[in-house]
Structure 1
Amino acid sequence: MTVPPPGRRERKKAATRQAIADAALQLFLERGYDQVSIRDIADAADVSTTTVFKHFTGKEALVFDQDEDRESQLVAAVRQRAAGQSILDALRQHALDTWLPIAAHPQSAEFLSLVESTPALRAYAERMWTRHTDSLSAAIADEVGVDHDDLACVALARFVLEIPLLARGRQDRPAAVEAIFDMLAHGWEPPRKPTGPRST
């Protein structure tokens, strides 16, 4: 069944939400998270504070404005994967297609610095990460027909969600993602020492 495109009202709502989130992030990066109020954000986005709260539950949610979409995409990668595609391969493709472009964004380093230097945002990110782990592990468990608290499914979800952090500082991020997924698929093996001429 073809999904109809969003109507004018939905497009306008989405545009307003994005404008508020963009204004908030710009102010947070310029002034620091604690120095910016909801009123400042509303003024910068040219909306009322009531409108801000219609779209976001609070300041933390403004920073992670795409959180719900990313969580649903993560679950969909498992549940809506192609016939014959393994769960790991579906998650590998999802990581390559969605996480790597985020990591390559010009503001990625500034954004991470903002989160890591702000206790409220670090705490929010941790709660978000835990929720994503629960959602992903439940989706994996459903696909293989086991309980949601199955240790193997929970462990796999946690490992997969750590991959962006593990690959972030690598020069070749796609190769790092591929290497980690290969390890998850085939098991860990001790790294081989580099071979070269022996010193005399």
Structure 2
Amino acid sequence: METLRERKKQRTRDALLRTAVEMFVERGYDGTTVDDIADAVDVSPRTFFRYFAGKEEAALALEELAVARYLGAVRARPAAEAPMVALRRAVLESWDTLHEVIESVVPVEAFVGMHRVIESTPVLLAAHLRRNAETEETIARMLAEREGLDVDTDPRPRLAVAVFGGVMRVTEQRWSASGDFSLEGMRALTIAYLDQVGPALAGNWRAR
């Protein structure tokens, strides 16, 4: 059972994260300091660093929540599902339940706004892409384990995840440029782009 002290710590962390995201969206990442965030929550910068290693970790914390939800969904998929089916259903399930995870900390609009900040801030975008690569390696190893394969000798888990990850990156880019910054819009684009994987890889692209 969660103790009163643990609940208080979680409330402080959530307040710091919510304030950081609001400031990043309003002022920009470079225009916000740790001191600004700490002052707004009425805590010391030292307290901020008890919860986050720095501004970058706070800026990417919502993304980490989303990734953790997705990894959990992948682990929970039935073993009988083909790998690409499991990845597809896991990502759609994650989008379906992401609202409740994100809204426990910030409004969904702030999550969407933070995504745009990451896309437009080189240092955050580089960190985001690096973490994406780490996540893809984690998923490849998860797929290999569930399929009884050696990920270091059988290329299929990494190939499958590379294809899937590529689709998700294209989807994120088009979502950011679409003007529809809702999670529902992102989910719809995800479905539409995943439906194109088979034809894109194996079909004839030339107009008939």
TM-score between both structures, scaled by the size of structure 2: 0.74
Larger Rg: 1
Which range is displaced more, 162-171 or 57-66? 162-171
What is the deviation of 1:83?
5.2
The whole-number CA distance in structure 1 between the counterparts of 2:24 and 2:186 is 27
Unaligned segments of structure 1, at least 5 residues: 195-200
Contact 2:92 2:187 in 1 (8 A): yes
Residue 8 (structure 1) aligns with: 4
1:116 aligns with 2:129: no
One-letter amino acid of the counterpart of residue 80, structure 2: G
The whole-number CA distance in structure 2 between the counterparts of 1:175 and 1:35 is 33
1:26 aligns with 2:22: yes
Tell me, what secondary structure is at the counterpart of 1:57? Answer: coil
Any idea what the Cα deviations from partners look like across 1:87-123, whole Å, max 9, x if unmatched?
3333222222324657xx4345532331122221112
The whole-number CA distance in structure 1 between the counterparts of 2:6 and 2:81 is 34
The whole-number CA distance in structure 2 between the counterparts of 1:173 and 1:68 is 17
Distance 1:118 1:178, change over 3 A: closer
User: Cα RMSD between the aligned structures?
Assistant: 3.1
Contact 2:139 2:161 in 1 (8 A): yes
Of 135, 142, 145, which residue of structure 1 is paired with 2:145?
A: 142
Residue 202 (structure 2) aligns with: 188
Q: 1:79-158 alignment to 2 at 5 Å? A: 79-82=75-78, 84-99=80-95, 105-107=108-110, 110-149=113-152, 150-158=154-162
More helix by share: 2
Distance 1:135 1:8, change over 3 A: same
Tell me, what secondary structure is at the counterpart of 1:35? Answer: coil
Contact 1:21 1:62 in 2 (8 A): yes
Contact 1:88 1:181 in 2 (8 A): no
Contact 1:78 1:87 in 2 (8 A): no
Q: 1:54-73 alignment to 2 at 5 Å? A: 54-73=50-69
Indicate the percent of aligned positions where both proteins have the same amino acid. 30
- Number of equivalent positions: 189
What is the deviation of 1:192?
8.3
Any idea what the Cα deviations from partners look like across 1:157-187, whole Å, max 9, x if unmatched?
2332334443343676545433444455685
Unaligned segments of structure 2, at least 5 residues: 100-107
What is the deviation of 1:76?
2.7
Of 162, 172, 185, which residue of structure 1 is paired with 2:166?
A: 162
One-letter amino acid of the counterpart of residue 56, structure 1: F
TM-score between both structures, scaled by the size of structure 1: 0.76
